[in-house]
């Protein structure tokens, strides 16, 4: 009984939620303790079965199961830190330097000049959605959050609305529109043409983010969450820059360079990987392909963005070496805390995956004869809520339903893929590293994130399901 994956999940949830909200533990400690307890409760046979399902050889699977509990947690912690460590550190440097140099203030003034104050949140929503198509959710959030802070200081209100707009746009694009990894996996597994997935995901995404905007506007009125002081974005510094004349701020070209450089490099590599596969796989690639592969790798692209941000600070503050060093030191210190918490969240999610909960859910639903579109949605949602990763949830659900997608359906299998993508939005909480990125980089408390960020993605997911059901009925495309 105690070895059942659902029992282990329940214990992990109690430790994390109870530890953070009721015992006031630091999130890093609560997540680490939960990961250790989950790892301790997981039977060796479950770990082996999980490893084999992931393509491990029998020897490698036994080796993983034979590792000490602390070693398994540390390995998962290190894997997450390796994936996001440099990105978070560079994003913190970019954000801090954009604030210190006045680059964020320059961009905000330009946006306000085009949209006006009332439409500024919509500008953030649409920008993050379009940026989220070629670029990972977390990267878009890293790059947009300093702009949200600068905009909130200028508007004197609506900080939560701006944060949720950035989150809504980037999150939906990341799951619905290729070439991000989840949608790319779906189109291969379920035999969906990439062009059809791009158009369908884009249209469904537009509807969901508009509903997300309505929720964000409502939440912003209900909960007045202020822009808080923090090490990486002191309010005095933001206020001082907001009061500067435009002549004292960097040019628009210089201001956007820390954002444009990594976005351009990552996007062009994503486009090449998607549409020019033969060039990418050529054993003797041309120089241009090698350069794009080299500079378009996301870690290096963010490093180049960080260097551009530093160059902007140096240009704006000639002779103020101490202030530049102080800015970078503060950003790195702040990033270190976020990396620790996010990596601990990743370790907790990985230990939940090793319980075999995804395999258990697959077995329970294999003979369930519910209508396929909502079935795909709820399987994905269940896996996402249980183990934290949207991508893992999409992979699991598509693996379960791939065979059904080839059956004589009354509608195109595109709708099954879109349903899986929308289901992967439910329900983000403490076992999701993205939850901690949003929570800590926006300076929301855990309670605030659970009652704003989590419902936002959940509502958008259900909206997507409704749109897909209607579209499948009216435009079956079969």
| Amino acid 214: pLDDT | 95
Mean pLDDT computed over 72-96 = 84
Banded pLDDT at 177 (limits 50, 70, 90): confident
DSSP of 284-352, one letter per residue?
S--HHHHHHHHHTSHHHHHHHHHHHHHHHHHHHTTT-HHHHHHHHHHHHHHHHHHHHHHHHHHHHHHHH
pLDDT higher than threshold 70 for residue 319: no
pLDDT category at 462 given cuts 50, 70, 90 is very high
Residue 87 structural domain: 81-167+227-336
Q: How far apart are CA 96 and CA 59, in angstroms?
A: 47
Closest by Cα among 207, 200, 206, 211 to 416: 200
Establish if 350 belongs to a structural domain. no
196 by Cβ neighbours in 10 Å (0-12 / 13-18 / 19+) ranks as middle
216 within domain boundaries = no
For residue 440, with 0-12 CB atoms within 10 Å meaning exposed, 13-18 middle and 19 or more buried, which class applies? buried
Is 128 inside any structural domain? yes
Q: Does 190 reside within a domain?
A: no
Rounded Cα gap, residues 153 and 172, in angstroms: 27
Predicted confidence (pLDDT) per residue in 16-42, tens digit: 778 877 887 887 888 899 889 989 998
- pLDDT 10s digits, 129-165: 877 776 678 777 887 888 888 888 888 888 999 999 9
Whole-number Cα distances in Å, 195 to 141, 179, 208, 399 = 26, 11, 20, 21
Select the more confidently predicted residue: 57 or 404.
57
Q: How crowded is residue 7: how many other Cβ atoms within 10 Å of its Cβ?
A: 13
Q: Does 256 fall in a domain?
A: yes
How big is the CA angle at 349 (ends 374 and 26), to the nearest 5 degrees?
Answer: 125
Q: Given a cut of 60, is residue 123 above it in pLDDT?
A: yes
pLDDT of 369 = 42
Express each pLDDT in 373-424 by its tens digit.
888 898 888 878 877 777 777 766 776 676 565 556 778 888 989 999 999 8
Highest mean pLDDT among 32-41, 336-345, 367-376, 459-468: 459-468
Q: Mean pLDDT throughout 204-218?
A: 94
Residue-wise pLDDT tens digits, 188-202: 777 787 778 888 888
Residue 205 and residue 464: Cα distance in Å, rounded? Answer: 8
> 299 lies in a domain?
yes
Q: Name the range with the highest mean pLDDT among 112-116, 168-172, 400-404, 434-438.
A: 168-172
Identify the pLDDT of residue 217. 94
* Mean pLDDT of the residues in the chain: 81
pLDDT for the residue numbered 367: 58
Q: Is the pLDDT of residue 467 over 90?
A: yes
Q: Between the CA of residue 299 and those of 80, 92, 117, 225, what are the distances in Å?
A: 14, 13, 34, 32
List alpha helices for 223-251, DSSP H. 235-242
The answer, yes or no, to whether residue 183 has pLDDT greater than 60, is: yes
Number of domains in the chain: 1
Tell me, yes or no, whether 394 lies in a domain: no
Q: Which pLDDT does position 165 carry in this prediction?
A: 92
Pinpoint the alpha helices (H) of 67-136.
Answer: 69-101, 103-115, 120-131
Per-residue tokens: 396: 């699991």
Note whether residue 377 is domain-resident.
no
User: Mean pLDDT throughout 214-226?
Assistant: 91
pLDDT band, residue 320 (cuts 50/70/90): low
Please report which confidence band the pLDDT of residue 366 belongs to, taking 50, 70 and 90 as the band edges.
low
Residue-level pLDDT at 399: 63
Of 1-15, 161-175, 217-231, 385-399, the one with minimum mean pLDDT is 385-399
DSSP 247: G
Highest mean pLDDT among 130-134, 304-308, 380-384, 437-441: 304-308
pLDDT of residue 466: 95
């Amino acid at each position: 009984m105690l070895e059942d994956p659902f029992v282990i999940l329940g214990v992990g949830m109690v430790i994390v939620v109870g530890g953070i909200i009721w015992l006031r533990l630091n999130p890093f400690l609560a997540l680490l303790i939960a990961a250790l307890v989950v790892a301790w409760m997981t039977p060796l046979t479950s770990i082996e079965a999980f490893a084999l399902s992931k393509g491990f050889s029998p020897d490698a699977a036994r080796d993983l199961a034979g590792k000490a509990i602390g070693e398994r947690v540390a390995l998962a912690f290190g894997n997450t830190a390796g994936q996001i460590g440099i990105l978070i550190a560079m994003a913190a440097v970019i954000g801090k330097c954009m604030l210190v140099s006045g680059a964020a203030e320059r961009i905000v003034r330009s946006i306000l000049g085009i949209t006006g104050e009332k439409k500024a949140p919509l500008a953030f929503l649409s920008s993050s959605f379009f940026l989220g198509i070629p670029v990972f959710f977390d990267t878009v959030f890293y790059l947009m959050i300093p702009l949200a802070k600068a905009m909130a200081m200028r508007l004197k209100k609506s900080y939560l609305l701006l944060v949720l707009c950035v989150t809504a746009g980037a999150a939906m694009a990341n799951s619905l529109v290729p070439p991000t990894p989840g949608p790319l996996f779906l189109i291969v597994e379920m035999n969906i043409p990439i062009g059809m997935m791009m158009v369908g995901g884009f249209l469904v995404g537009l509807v969901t983010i508009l509903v997300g905007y309505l929720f964000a506007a409502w939440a912003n009125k209900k909960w007045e969450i202020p822009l808080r002081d923090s090490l990486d974005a002191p309010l005095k510094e933001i206020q001082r820059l907001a009061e500067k004349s435009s002549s004292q701020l960097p040019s628009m070209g210089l201001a956007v360079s820390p954002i444009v450089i990594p976005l351009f490099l990552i996007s062009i590599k994503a486009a090449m990987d998607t549409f020019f596969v033969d060039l990418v796989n050529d054993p003797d690639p041309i120089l241009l392909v090698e350069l794009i592969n080299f500079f378009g790798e996301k870690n290096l692209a963010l490093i180049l963005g960080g260097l551009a941000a530093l160059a902007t600070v140096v240009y704006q503050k000639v002779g103020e070496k101490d202030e530049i060093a102080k800015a970078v030191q503060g950003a790195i210190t702040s990033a270190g805390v976020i990396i620790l918490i996010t990596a601990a969240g990743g370790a907790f999610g990985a230990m939940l995956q090793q319980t075999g909960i995804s395999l258990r859910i697959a077995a329970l639903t294999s003979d369930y004869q519910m209508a396929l579109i909502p079935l795909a949605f709820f399987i994905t949602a269940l896996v996402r809520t249980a183990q934290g990763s949207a991508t893992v949830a999409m992979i699991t659900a598509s693996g379960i339903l791939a065979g059904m997608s080839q059956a004589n359906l009354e509608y195109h299998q595109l709708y099954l893929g879109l349903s899986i993508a929308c289901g992967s939005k439910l329900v983000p909480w403490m076992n999701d590293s993205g939850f901690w990125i949003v929570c800590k980089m926006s300076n929301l408390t855990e309670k605030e994130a659970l009652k704003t960020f989590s419902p936002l993605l959940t509502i958008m997911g259900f909206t997507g399901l409704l749109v897909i059901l209607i579209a499948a009925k009216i435009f079956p495309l079969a």
